[in-house]
Structure formats: C-alpha cells, structure tokens
Amino acid sequence: MSDCLFCEIVAHRVPASFVTEEEHAVAIRDINPQAPTHVLVMPREHITSADALTPEHDELWAALLRLVQRIARDEDIAGRGYRVVANVGSMGGQTVDHLHLHVLGGRQMTWPPG
Ligand code: AMP
Ligand code: ZN
C-alpha cells in the first residue's frame, strides 16, 4: 500500500533506522522512543493490525515473535525482562495501520499502561 508509512519504510522509500531485515519481516527503531530500547517489528506484507490476522498468517506471526526474541537478546534486555505491545485500532492507540509489535526495554515498565 503506497499510502502506508510502514510499507514505504519496508520498501526503503522512506528512511528509517533498520535493526534487522528478514525475508518476511523487518525491525526498525521507533522514531519517538519510549524506553532505552524501542524497536518496531513488522511484517513486509501489509496487514492492518493483529486483529486482521488469519490462520494463514500463523507462520508469519510465529516468525514475528521469533524476531522479537532475537532482538531482545541482541539488545541485552531479554534477561531483565521487556514488554511486547501490539496496539489495535484507534481505541487501542494504534496510529500506523500496518501491524507492528513494539519491543520496549531497558527501564522498569509500569502497569496499567496509559
Ligand atoms: P502505534 O501507535 O502502535 O501505531 O505505533 C506507531 C509507532 O510508530 C509510534 O511509536 C511512532 O513513534 C512510530 N513511528 C512513526 N513514524 C515513524 C517513522 N518514520 N520511523 C520510525 N517509527 C515511526
Ligand atoms: Zn503497510
């Protein structure tokens, strides 16, 4: 989708700080980090949100979680703990309608989230 910011980033038409690129997923640093580590993991394919996932996406979803784990280890936040967030829709706080997982770590997280 050409009007989707993250599709543009995945295609390298909009610059971003890439952490890693895989066949079906990429990870970038959030432009407005909310923690010392704040990485966004997203599929290359345009999927609107986690709510749009179907059983056909099961393998992709698993690959996204594997990538989250790898990033947590590489960023050295896995041992102390970290947070994985998928905002869904406007009431969920989603502002970019291309599925992405926030990987947040490096500080103590609080609950409930805002
Ligand atoms: P969400 O609100 O869950 O949809 O998350 C969207 C995230 O994308 C926010 O945390 C933004 O800071 C981040 N963001 C927006 N534009 C960019 C960009 N050009 N590069 C990296 N991150 C971005
Ligand atoms: Zn997209």
Q: Is the CB of 99 under 6 A from ligand 1?
A: no
The segments of the chain whose pLDDT lies below 50 read none
Query: In the chain, what is the straight-line distance between the N-terminal and C-terminal CA atoms, in Å?
Result: 30
Question: Is 41 among the domain residues?
Answer: yes
Residue 64 counted as domain residue: yes
User: What's the CA gap between 28 and 39, in Å, rounded?
Assistant: 6
Q: Supply 55's token pair.
A: 């059983």
14 Cα nearest atom in ligand 1: 19
**Total domain count for the chain?**
1
At residue 114, the pLDDT reads 84
Sign of CA dihedral 23, 27, 31, 32: positive
In a domain, 112, yes or no: no
- Establish whether residue 96 lines the binding site of ligand 1, counting it when its CB lies within 6 angstroms of any ligand atom: yes
Does 50 fall in a domain?
A: yes
Residue 95 Cα to ligand 2 middle (Å): 12
- Nearest by Cα to 45 from 23, 28, 24, 14: 24
User: For the whole prediction, is pTM greater than 0.95?
Assistant: yes
Residue 80 lies in a domain: yes
111 part of a folded domain:
no
Tell me whether residue 100 is one of the annotated catalytic residues: yes
Query: Going by CA atoms, what residue is nearest to atom 17 of ligand 1?
Result: 31
Q: Are 111 and 85 in contact (CB under 8 A)?
A: no
Pick the closest to residue 97 from 31, 43, 48 (CA basis). 48
Which pLDDT value is given to residue 1? 63
Pocket test for ligand 1, best of 17, 37, 95, 102 (most atoms within 8 A of CB): 95
Whole-angstrom distance, CA of residue 65 vs CA of residue 107? 21
Q: For residue range 17-35, list pLDDT tens digits in order.
A: 999 999 999 999 999 999 9
Return the CATH number at 90: 3.30.428.10
- Residue 81: CB partners within 8 Å, gap ≥ 6? 105, 109
Structural domain that includes position 9: 5-105
